[in-house]
Structure 1
Amino acid sequence: MNTWTSFMAGEAAAIVLHSVPPLVVFVAVEAVTDLRDKLTDAVLVAGGERRVVRPVESGRRKLFADYLAEARAAWAPGVEITPAWVRQETGCSRGLSPRLARALRAEVANG
């Protein structure tokens, strides 16, 4: 659109004119999800069938201490504590494994 050309020329009416279509598209994109869900519900109600909405159950989040306890239980003397070993034993992410390896090495070193 010619919004910037109109801005440089100082034509307020042209700026508004050229800004309306992008705003309409933006609002339509934001509203389409809710509209789709409401239309689906309306069609199902009209057809006599109701959609069952099941809440998503989220499990308990695994904490750093949980991962550390798991790694501690898997460790045995003679095992080299590396981030790769920690990932293999606990299933933690690549970002967390170096911290876990450092913490476990510190525990082992301190006895």
Structure 2
Amino acid sequence: MGKVEIIRLMLSAGRAKDMLDFVEGESRYLSEASGGVPQDPELKRIWIMMVHHLRFLAEFGGDVSIQSSGGRVYRSYPDEFDRWLSAGAPGISEIDIKRYLEENPIDESE
């Protein structure tokens, strides 16, 4: 299973917060192999929107696409997230994401 499939599996199992930790540089599974924010301007824009999408999922879940909280309105960005995945999930190493999965297997019931 490749990293894009693992990322999709993580989200379908409700592990958006773990994926958010990866992209925000907080995951203990990150190594030098993961490059972080891409330097290409378009990929950087997609990265930023993908981070917002993961923050939304981690806080509000995937059942809604717009949510208000504390007088602010938040929304998810699934199209940008899919673009990031279609580009091969740049910035996150397959080695790192596979190490996460080895230590945190996803049960089919999740």
TM-score bracket for the superposition, by shorter chain length: under 0.3
**TM-score, structure 1 normalization:** 0.22
Structure number with greater CO (CA < 8 Å, separation at least 6) is 2
Say which structure is richer in strand.
2
**TM-score after normalising by structure 2:** 0.22
Which has the higher Rg, Structure 1 or Structure 2?
1
